[in-house]
Amino acid sequence: MDFLIITGMSGAGKSQTMKILEDMGYYCMDNLPPNLLPQIAELFKESKRGMKKIAVVIDTRGGEFFHGLFKSLDELNNMGIGYKILFIDASDNVIIKRYKELRRVHPLKPEGRIIEGIDEERELLQELKEKAYFIIDTSNLNLGMLKEEIYRLFSEGGEKRKLTISLISFGFKNGVLSDADLLFDVRFLPNPFYIPELKEHSGREQEVKDYVFKWPQTNIFISKLIDMLEFLIPYYVKEGKTQLVVGIGCTGGFHRSVAITNKVSEILKDNGHRAISNHRDLKR
């Protein structure tokens, strides 16, 4: 039996994750009181209906029941029932933005500030996050990218535990990329912004790429960055990391960082890695 426990931050995407798993054939239950976990697991273990893929969502909406979760996990271990924890996370800024767009209040602070609820929830979930077998950060994932990641991890024959490298361009003037594992500053490179005929063109366009990559220091930097990532990736995989977020920043996130992010992503893909590129500030 494939018994998956989904938990994580409110607003991070647990409901969408559950729906994707349902489409993959999982029998899903939302907001299950943690004290019922052992009974549910035993029920499905003995079921004659052949339901072998079970996913349950457990989160802080369970209120006081949530505090019994670790006791229930111990019971599962004593019963010999294997399980894996999938933790869905997102940065504070992204969660706040999602709540404001939906005009919702945080379940832990219905009459307080959203950030207060987020802080309290992170503290409650920290120990559980440390026990997670999978962690997915949805800060820079749209629904299609989330679905791709879920299928990669949980579909039959999927590439479980293979590292996804998320390369994200950004502009320092709009704030540092808060959820990056690694950050690189490319503001030392000549800036196309000051070339009148390139100013309005992004780093996706050929004329800007030609300008950025004509400088020797650009290609030396990319070569050294690839070498560093190739050195680090096996160690991240060994530690069980499933997603590596690499931020590449320039001044505005429109020219240099975009071109370099796409180039690094292409090289990593050619080297056999699973790399995706995204551009935080390109549409500002």
Q: Is 14 annotated as a binding residue?
A: yes
Tell me if 185 is assigned to a ligand binding site: no
259 annotated as a binding-site residue: no
Ligand-binding annotation for 1, yes or no, is no
55 is in an annotated binding site: no
Find out whether 13 is annotated in a ligand binding site.
Answer: yes
CB atoms within 10 A of CB 215: 12
Give the position of tokens 């429109």. Answer: 254
Determine if residue 9 is labeled as part of a ligand binding site. yes
Q: How far apart (Å, rounded) are the C-alpha atoms in residues 115 and 103?
A: 14
Are 54 and 4 contacting, i.e. CB atoms less than 8 angstroms apart?
yes
12 is in an annotated binding site: yes
Those residues with Cβ within 8 angstroms of residue 140's Cβ, 6 or more apart along the chain or in another chain? 166, 168, 179, 245, 278, 280
| CA distance readout (Å), 213 to 42, 225, 226, 260, 269 | 60, 15, 15, 9, 19
Strands annotated E in the chain: 2-8, 27-29, 53-57, 84-89, 134-137, 164-171, 182-185, 243-250, 274-279
Quick one: which of 215, 176, 177, 175 has its CA closest to 195?
A: 215
Q: Is the dihedral of CA 139, 140, 142, 146 positive or negative?
A: negative
Q: Is 61 annotated as a binding residue?
A: yes
Tell whether 11 is in a known binding site.
Answer: yes
Task: Report yes or no: 170 and 252 within 8 Å, Cβ to Cβ.
Answer: no
Give the whole-angstrom CA distance, residue 38 versus residue 56. 12
Residue list, annotated binding site: 8-15, 59-62
Residue list, annotated binding site for ATP: 8-15
Residue list, annotated binding site for GTP: 59-62
